[in-house]
Structure 1
Amino acid sequence: MKQVGNAIRGFFNSRLGFFILAIALFWGKTYWAYHTKFNLGVSGSMQEFLLALNPIPTTLLLFGIALYMTGRKSYVVMLVIDALTSTWLFANILYYREFSDFLTFALIKGSGSVSNNLSKGILGILRPDDFMVFLDVVVLILLLAFHVIKMDVRPLKKRFALGVSLLAVLLFGANLSMAYSDRSGLLTRTFDNNYIVKYLGLNAYTVVDGVKTAKTSATKANAKASDINSVLSYLNKNRTTPSVTYSGVAKGKNVFVIHLESLQQFIIDFKWDNQEVTPVLNKLYHNQNTLSFDNFFNQVGQGKTADAEMMLENSLFGLPEGSAMVSDGTSNTFQAAPAILDQHGYTTAAFHGDVPSFWNRDNTYKSWGYDYYFSKSYFSSGKNYDVGYGLKDKIFLKDSAQYIEQLPQPFYAKLITVTNHYPYTLDKANQSISQTDTGDDTVDGYVQTARYLDQAIGEFLDWLKASGLDKNSMLVLYGDHYGISGNHKKAVAKLLNKSTFNDFDNAQFQKVPFMIYMPGLKGGINHTYGGEIDVLPTLLNLLGIKNNNTVQFGSDLLAPNRNQTVAFRNGDFVTPDYTKVGSSYYLTKTGEKLGKLTAAQKTAIDAASNRVTTELSLSDRVINGDLLRFYTPSGFKKVDKKDFSYKLSTALAMLKAAQEKEPTSVLAKNKGKSTVDLYKTDAPELKSDSSSSSSSSSN
């Protein structure tokens, strides 16, 4: 027995033995992470085998680099590689927990545009067992430090190191071959990164993403004018005739677009603790003058809010990796809602209570043609005014009123709320409803921030009425993306009083509110299936603006006989009949999972799949190749970014001049008398500041 122990110890005291131990420990923790930290949708013995196999080839290849080194350097290099790859795994675990996706180079490149306040979000999702991914590194270091394992400084033949590298390549080739036999077109037709990690592993996914990123850069450089022809051909064959009934009913009206951060459809009419969580939105949702949509889905990818804005104002999908606003917002040519409306006599303005560079908005909004961008420097600042990603909604919306009343009418104004943003924390002074009791911190605070957002919207609507703006405006409200990701299934099931919450339920959980309110509008709850890609065509038709030659992938939600296939960024989809999640299909009406498809089911599902794949690919081609620089619709004037400046002094001078040159604003029509004093809010921060000012004055 002692001889066996000595033999084992002697083996691990050799460089080969240490190398195999490092490989085994890294494989074990990676396989553990695959099963416990990610939701890869593994089904069947082949996929389970590939999941177990795929960490080995790339780990052999990377750790094998150390075998080319001599002496102690070999051990140090091996530990450094182990630590770096473990850090990458750790970062992906944290990112995946909230976004159900893996990190990409495009996302990392654009992280500077969204970096403020991220530390608070990271701390909120961190779990103690996440650090288990560094355990193997610590164990190896301790084994060497305490001389349990001694370094073998004897030279290793280079052909041995070369043999390990060759073995890694051969194993990866076998892995790839088996993966393709189970999932054809894995690297050419897959929009979902889960597939690549499931079949090839996280390290291989990183390489694939790097190649994609480089290829995308080359695409723009090599694009030519004829590349837009296939896009136009597809769109012209598939254009939907917009609704005649609603065409032009809002012509000449002001348009308010209110961005409801992270608000999901389930919260409409939802009650907690015997209270409606969103009574204001509920009332608006059921108003006879509101067009409400109960099958409206968010379609975002990694860009989250930025993807929602891209779809809302361009009817182009976000990119499969990163954010198009960050990677292409500065340089690309767009034909966005602000530019279209500006060329039809509208003043256009965006409002956001955070730094202008967030999601690269300060540059992207110029490319989209916004006349004004009111960001952080335009608004009040004070103690407890901010909540993570900008001004609290009640303060933000009240402060926005001073600029809204100065905008020449008609205007298009987009207001981006932020308080209902992950991690859904709110100070006690602003809480008006108790947390839910699922035991999940991410889920339980959601009703409190949603209630606060609802109250802020209520105060804003009261001001619109008091100022008279409601009579001549169309109000559009939409949820930008999910607030609670699919990684909280157990808590969501409890919240919704369901026994289970599966992948089908999560697909349906991607519904977000979409409402269009206007006095005299023929409203009601519309059951058509659609998403954010369809907003722009719908609004343009309501405003009576011609839209039959643009590059837009959505269709008017009010059009009869429209195609109701809703594409998700990862290639999944929902239709009134079928829902696709990964490689599984469900009946949308019942949630029943389909086994072997009938001929009719296969035909319908194949048609929907082809439509989704085609539209996502064509939209990507438009953005990655900057193809709109080669095509300008008749009647549209190309945007010149040099025409816009969002400096505070410049904007204030423009607004002042507009009161005389274009005296159509609320302020001008009110003979210079402001309506801001009509804005009533119960924001405790403002009351506190007011009390402090009064106290100082009396002293």
Structure 2
Amino acid sequence: MKQFGAKIQSFFNSRLGFFVLAIALFWGKTYWAYQTKFNLGVAGSMQDFLLALNPIPTTLLLFGIALYMNGRKSYITMLIIDAITTTWLFANILYYREFSDFLTFTLIKGSGAVSNNLSKGILGILNPTDFLVFADVILLILLLSFKVIRMDIRPIKKRFAIGVSLLAALLFGANLSMAYSDRSGLLTRTFDNNYIVKYLGLNAYTVVDGVKTAKNSAVKANAKASDINSVLSYLNKNRTTPSVTYSGVAKGKNVFVIHLESLQQFIIDFKWDGQEVTPNLNKLYHDQNTLSFDNFYNQVGQGKTADAEMMLENSLFGLPEGSAMVTDGTSNTFQAVPAILDEQGYTTAAFHGDVPSFWNRDNTYKSWGYDYYFSKEYFSSGKNYDVGYGLKDKIFLKDSAKYIEQLPQPFYAKLITVTNHYPYTLDKANTSIKQTDTGDDTVDGYVQTAKYLDQAIGELMTWLKTSGLDKNSMLVLYGDHYGISGNHKKAVAKLLGEKTFNDFDNAQFQKVPFMIHMPGLKGGINHTYGGEIDVMPTLLNLLGVKNTGTVQFGSDLLAPNRNQTVAFRNGDFVTPTYTKVGSRYYMTQTGKEIEKLTAAQKEAVNQATNRVTTELSLSDKVITGDLLRFYKPSWFKPVDKKDYSYKLSNGLKQLKEAQEKKKTSVLMKNDGKSLADEYKTDAPELKTSEAESASSSESAAADESSSSSSRSSSSSAAK
């Protein structure tokens, strides 16, 4: 035993032994922090394995730098690297606790929001156990100081140090490969920093963020104030005069923007198993007070939902790669709908039952000027409340009512549903229609989640009527992107009762619902061709907000003689006459492929192609160069991101103060009596919670009764 102990002592007294000990301790505390300090959403054995593996490659690489040095320098360098990376871990623990996200270089060097927000309540943020991340550094210093472990000043062969670096690179390559097999497009289509940390680790995330920041900074640094002139010149030449008939018809009305996750146009009026899949939306679609658009297309790229939001609230296209909300949402200047309506006296709020960091919403919404962002921490939690990407729609919308009624009117409220999200799975208790029978698992579950979403919308509509909000509100409902991709052609053909489903059919399959509903609105089904890029100018005109001199690539959908070329992110397009898919052209009304273009057809498709490529290019230029920082029209007040905080305590305090100041909220107008309890839902999870609560109350009452009886008996005996 003594010999074994001596061998261990001898091993740790060597440079290699100290290196292994330092690596092991750093791995242990990092893995502990992942599990206890962050909420990374690890699910499944592969993700568990990667979470345990990912600290090792970068730690080997960083600590391995010390092996290239001799004597004491090697030990000191190792301790310095340990201390620096530990401090970074510690800082992220604090920031994550406050904002449910990780630090970025943009945040650090940008507005000062990090230091401002953290310094305001550092003692309130700190948890004593946070300091445990420094335990390994202190332990190593003490072991060396008291010579429990002695420094080995013998040189290490350079080939050994190189071998450690190569091992680190090999392990990282394996880590990255496994991560991509579990989450394709992890780095190219980043939508949540939690995913990068979960799969690759905090140190790797830091490098990814650093590279991304440097790349974006270089582009922005080279941008000039004059660059915006070419954008304004094109827009001014091609600007469409908005509809006079509909201008200002919704002035002063509340606005609800309801995000129908992955909902496609084909589902409207679609029947399966003898049932309408979306009866509530169908009724709304055909209502005489609803403007419905049957040729409205999603125009998203890799950013999917994030691209849809960017277009809806900025009339700017998403980027060709990744998500503009993630890469540029924190640092860029925007002139978005919330900020514009704020100057019109509106209260603006976004609602989403998932973590605030998803798609970088917690930072982007500040850049867009949202007064409030009600994310996951604002809502109830319970058994089976969540489904994949946040709260189930029925629970989410019911819970949102208590905040909606507190918003000073008029307000602009965006509600993002999530249940109808790939892979379209729903528990049996919430299923009210059987799956379709195409044999494709992805396709066949779609009607079940779509019907659930429709039921949730029906419950919301009922409450809006109960609360009286239906009378003075405009509802805008839109599908954000396709739900079933072109990879399921055979199944989609069977679902739609068609013999084939080709590339042209898939282009038309990109239609999503778009409806605008308001009492007294002159409605009907509008056949104009348009897309998400056109929503912002359409809404602003309806609200009577002047829309001249804006940097927007869409046009009012209700304007006469508008250009009806719908651009897709990959350069394809649809017009009422022609559809372009790759290098092929089709007649839009018949779907017949044009084998050889006539001179007139060639001129028409060339004009459409030039328009599409120009607008995509100029929109990209605006975002990547942050060109709106150079454009300061007199009608727009720039957003100051430091004015916003979406933390629960701050949000509730701000909401209370705003109500007292304006006294226009539904709650204040109802003499402080809440109407949220009038919201009716059949969500089984809430019924279960109520039953358990009632059972608990009955049990407590029984215990109290028993206790009282016992006390009475004791009292009688004492007498």
TM range (shorter): 0.7 to 0.9
**8 Å contact kept, 2:292–2:515:** yes
Please say if 1:107 is aligned against 2:186.
no
**8 Å contact kept, 1:106–1:327:** no
State the shift of 1:661 in Å: 1.0
**8 Å contact kept, 2:212–2:327:** no
Aligned equivalents of 1:310 and 1:468: distance in 2?
A: 31
**8 Å contact kept, 1:117–1:388:** no
Q: Which residue of 2 aligns with 1:600?
A: 600
Aligned equivalents of 1:601 and 1:214: distance in 2?
A: 45
State the shift of 1:353 in Å: 0.3
**8 Å contact kept, 1:117–1:389:** no
Q: Which residue of 1 aligns with 2:274?
A: 274
State the shift of 1:609 in Å: 0.3
Please say if 1:334 is aligned against 2:334.
yes
Q: 1:157-192 deviations in whole A, cap 9, x for unaligned?
A: xxxxxxxxxxxxxxxxxxxxxxxxxxxxxxxxxxxx
**8 Å contact kept, 2:192–2:358:** no
State the shift of 1:656 in Å: 1.5
Q: Which residue of 1 aligns with 2:550?
A: 550
State the shift of 1:658 in Å: 2.1
State the shift of 1:104 in Å: 7.8
Aligned equivalents of 1:89 and 1:568: distance in 2?
A: 31
State the shift of 1:596 in Å: 1.2
Q: Which residue of 2 aligns with 1:6?
A: none
Q: Which residue of 1 aligns with 2:464?
A: 464
Q: Which residue of 1 aligns with 2:503?
A: 503
Aligned equivalents of 2:482 and 2:386: distance in 1?
A: 22
**8 Å contact kept, 1:301–1:321:** yes
Q: Which residue of 2 aligns with 1:324?
A: 324
AA in 1 matched with 2:594: L
Q: Which runs of 5+ in 1 are unaligned?
A: 1-76, 97-102, 120-209
Percent of aligned pairs sharing the same letter:
81
**8 Å contact kept, 1:306–1:323:** yes
AA in 2 matched with 1:112: N
3-state secondary structure, aligned to 1:340: helix
Q: Which residue of 2 aligns with 1:535?
A: 535
AA in 2 matched with 1:232: L
AA in 2 matched with 1:287: D
1:177-192 aligned at under 5 Å gives the runs none
**8 Å contact kept, 1:378–1:648:** yes
State the shift of 1:93 in Å: 8.0
User: CA 1:378 to 1:419, structure 2 compared with 1: closer, same or farther past 3 Å?
Assistant: same
User: CA 1:118 to 1:427, structure 2 compared with 1: closer, same or farther past 3 Å?
Assistant: farther
**8 Å contact kept, 2:393–2:453:** yes
TM-align CA RMSD: 2.7
State the shift of 1:349 in Å: 0.2
State the shift of 1:95 in Å: 6.8
Aligned equivalents of 1:78 and 1:117: distance in 2?
A: 23
User: CA 1:94 to 1:500, structure 2 compared with 1: closer, same or farther past 3 Å?
Assistant: farther
1:163-562 aligned at under 5 Å gives the runs 217-562=217-562
AA in 2 matched with 1:656: K
State the shift of 1:406 in Å: 0.4
State the shift of 1:634 in Å: 2.2
Aligned equivalents of 1:332 and 1:690: distance in 2?
A: 45
Q: 1:596-637 deviations in whole A, cap 9, x for unaligned?
A: 100010000000000000000000000000000000222110
3-state secondary structure, aligned to 1:302: coil
User: CA 1:655 to 1:78, structure 2 compared with 1: closer, same or farther past 3 Å?
Assistant: closer
Deviates more, 1:296-305 or 1:218-227: 218-227
Aligned equivalents of 1:81 and 1:552: distance in 2?
A: 45
3-state secondary structure, aligned to 1:259: strand
State the shift of 1:377 in Å: 0.5
3-state secondary structure, aligned to 2:525: strand
Q: 1:211-251 deviations in whole A, cap 9, x for unaligned?
A: 99986552212111001000000000000000000000000
**8 Å contact kept, 2:537–2:555:** yes
Q: 1:370-402 deviations in whole A, cap 9, x for unaligned?
A: 000000010000000000100000000000000
In the superposition, the TM-score normalised over structure 2's length comes to 0.71
Q: Which residue of 2 aligns with 1:698?
A: 698
User: CA 1:78 to 1:649, structure 2 compared with 1: closer, same or farther past 3 Å?
Assistant: closer
Structure 1 stretches of 4+ with a deviation exceeding 6 A read 77-96, 115-119, 210-215
Q: Which residue of 2 aligns with 1:162?
A: none
3-state secondary structure, aligned to 2:350: strand
Aligned equivalents of 1:221 and 1:438: distance in 2?
A: 52
3-state secondary structure, aligned to 1:107: coil
**8 Å contact kept, 1:289–1:518:** yes
1:572-587 aligned at under 5 Å gives the runs 572-587=572-587
User: CA 1:113 to 1:507, structure 2 compared with 1: closer, same or farther past 3 Å?
Assistant: farther
User: CA 1:238 to 1:254, structure 2 compared with 1: closer, same or farther past 3 Å?
Assistant: same
Aligned equivalents of 2:289 and 2:249: distance in 1?
A: 12
**8 Å contact kept, 1:104–1:322:** no
AA in 1 matched with 2:378: Y
State the shift of 1:83 in Å: 11
3-state secondary structure, aligned to 2:226: helix
Q: 1:462-497 deviations in whole A, cap 9, x for unaligned?
A: 000000000000000000000001111111111011
State the shift of 1:79 in Å: 13
AA in 2 matched with 1:107: R
3-state secondary structure, aligned to 1:225: coil
User: CA 1:671 to 1:594, structure 2 compared with 1: closer, same or farther past 3 Å?
Assistant: same
AA in 1 matched with 2:568: F
AA in 2 matched with 1:241: T
Aligned equivalents of 2:685 and 2:198: distance in 1?
A: 20
User: CA 1:528 to 1:316, structure 2 compared with 1: closer, same or farther past 3 Å?
Assistant: same
**8 Å contact kept, 2:180–2:186:** no
Q: Which residue of 1 aligns with 2:569?
A: 569
User: CA 1:579 to 1:81, structure 2 compared with 1: closer, same or farther past 3 Å?
Assistant: farther
Aligned equivalents of 1:474 and 1:370: distance in 2?
A: 19
In the superposition, the TM-score normalised over structure 1's length comes to 0.73
AA in 2 matched with 1:468: G
3-state secondary structure, aligned to 1:234: helix
Which structure has the greater CA radius of gyration?
A: 2
**8 Å contact kept, 1:294–1:513:** yes
Q: Which residue of 1 aligns with 2:625?
A: 625
Q: 1:225-283 deviations in whole A, cap 9, x for unaligned?
A: 00100000000000000000000000000000000000000000000001000000000
User: CA 1:409 to 1:221, structure 2 compared with 1: closer, same or farther past 3 Å?
Assistant: same
Aligned equivalents of 1:509 and 1:117: distance in 2?
A: 35
Aligned equivalents of 1:631 and 1:247: distance in 2?
A: 26
**8 Å contact kept, 1:105–1:213:** no
State the shift of 1:594 in Å: 1.0
**8 Å contact kept, 2:280–2:455:** yes
Aligned equivalents of 2:196 and 2:383: distance in 1?
A: 22
3-state secondary structure, aligned to 1:219: helix
3-state secondary structure, aligned to 1:476: strand
Q: Which runs of 5+ in 2 are unaligned?
A: 1-164, 201-209, 700-719
AA in 2 matched with 1:496: L
How many pairs align? 531
Aligned equivalents of 1:91 and 1:596: distance in 2?
A: 46
Aligned equivalents of 2:317 and 2:263: distance in 1?
A: 20
State the shift of 1:649 in Å: 1.0
State the shift of 1:89 in Å: 8.4
3-state secondary structure, aligned to 1:692: helix
User: CA 1:541 to 1:118, structure 2 compared with 1: closer, same or farther past 3 Å?
Assistant: farther
**8 Å contact kept, 1:116–1:389:** no
User: CA 1:321 to 1:660, structure 2 compared with 1: closer, same or farther past 3 Å?
Assistant: same
AA in 2 matched with 1:247: S
State the shift of 1:698 in Å: 1.0
